[in-house]
Structure 1
Amino acid sequence: MVNVVVEEKVNQVVGSVEGEPSQRWGFELPLLLFAGFRTLIDQLHTELADHGYPDLRPAHGFAMQAIGPDGVTASELGRRLGVSKQAAGKTVDRLAALGYAERVADPQDARRKLVRLTPRGLDALTLSAAVFQELRGQWADRLGTGRLAELEDALKSVVGPAGFRLDAAGWFGG
């Protein structure tokens, strides 16, 4: 194996691939998956901004999903996001300052506080779901409904049942 620099592939230094020229570089798969994710998220946030939510960021979306319709404690939010309780608290502070979440007394235990979404937060999540559905439709138009379903099925088979997790922000170091 000879090391080569693939200039057009974000200057990755990689071992050369022996065999068919049609073989793809191993580092391309995660980059393509991330680029697809990033494209969808960027398009979502453009739409959210156009509909009155210019201050929402991707990390806010993960946090709002983790808060859910019933609310959570800051500790539980931290666990769901894969971050410390303090980091979760800072995220809650920011969401509260923006009007998307609030702290309320836990009806089960008055000593605890719950974080729950405000009507504005719930509206933003509802709009996000509609925008994601529209974006999926655009991908179906571009790829074809069958190819998109095959892509989704293939990804589900690779990532398994535990593939959907909200701790991406923590995993990325955010």
Structure 2
Amino acid sequence: MSNNRDGAALGHELSLWVVLYHEQLAARLHVNATEHKVLGIIGRTPGTHPARLVSETGLSNAAITKIVDRLVALGYVDRARDPADGRRFTLTATTAHRRVLTETMAPMLAGMDQVVRGLDEAELAAVGRWLTGTVAVMRDATLSLAEENRTPRTL
């Protein structure tokens, strides 16, 4: 890969490989891409509620319920009554899920550690700003598109 490629080309290539990696990771877990992403949110926010998943993904309540039911059935998520509000459920990734994910992702994480190990503080700060901005733009664009997709359109 050439170092003089423009940002758009590198962004497209990064997006391609991130998507393909996560498709393979989802396949290893026997889940689809959406289930994998929801599982990631649950894994990063133990004790989260289905309403948060709806908010973060832009998916419907029914879709989140179906996904959570499947993740529970696969043994990747524990669902429990919320002690603060017995009408709600909390969701937490299981130890089995964390173990499989850690083992599967170890080679990629080791590679990423090598990438950042050679960067100085200013470079790390610049990369951090770029990633933070990119995540915000992608989240906003995704949620906006999800909202548009829920609204019937006429040609």
Interval of TM-score (by shorter of Structure 1 and Structure 2)? 0.5 to 0.7
Calculate the aligned-residue CA RMSD, in Å: 4.0
2:103 corresponds to 1:127: yes
2:82 corresponds to 1:106: yes
In structure 1, runs of 5+ residues without a counterpart are 1-22
Alignment of structure 1 residues 68-79 onto 2, 5 Å: 68=43, 70-79=46-55
Which residue is equivalent to 1:41?
Answer: 22
Once the 2 structures are TM-superposed, how far is the Cα of residue 164 of structure 1 from its aligned partner?
6.6
Match of 2:38 among 54, 63, 70: 63
Which residue is equivalent to 1:16?
Answer: none
Q: TM-score, normalised by structure 2?
A: 0.62
In structure 2, runs of 5+ residues without a counterpart are 147-155
Q: TM-score, normalised by structure 1?
A: 0.57
In the alignment, residue 65 of structure 2 is paired with which amino acid? Answer: G
**In proportion to residue count, which structure has more helix?**
2
How many percent of aligned residue pairs carry the same amino acid? 24
Once the 2 structures are TM-superposed, how far is the Cα of residue 24 of structure 1 from its aligned partner?
5.5
Q: More displaced, 93-102 or 125-134? A: 125-134
Match of 2:71 among 86, 95, 105: 95
Once the 2 structures are TM-superposed, how far is the Cα of residue 35 of structure 1 from its aligned partner?
2.4
What is the alpha-carbon distance in structure 1 between the residues aligned to residue 17 and residue 8 of structure 2?
15
Which residue is equivalent to 1:20?
Answer: none
Which residue is equivalent to 1:158?
Answer: 130
3-state SS in 2 of match to 1:99: coil
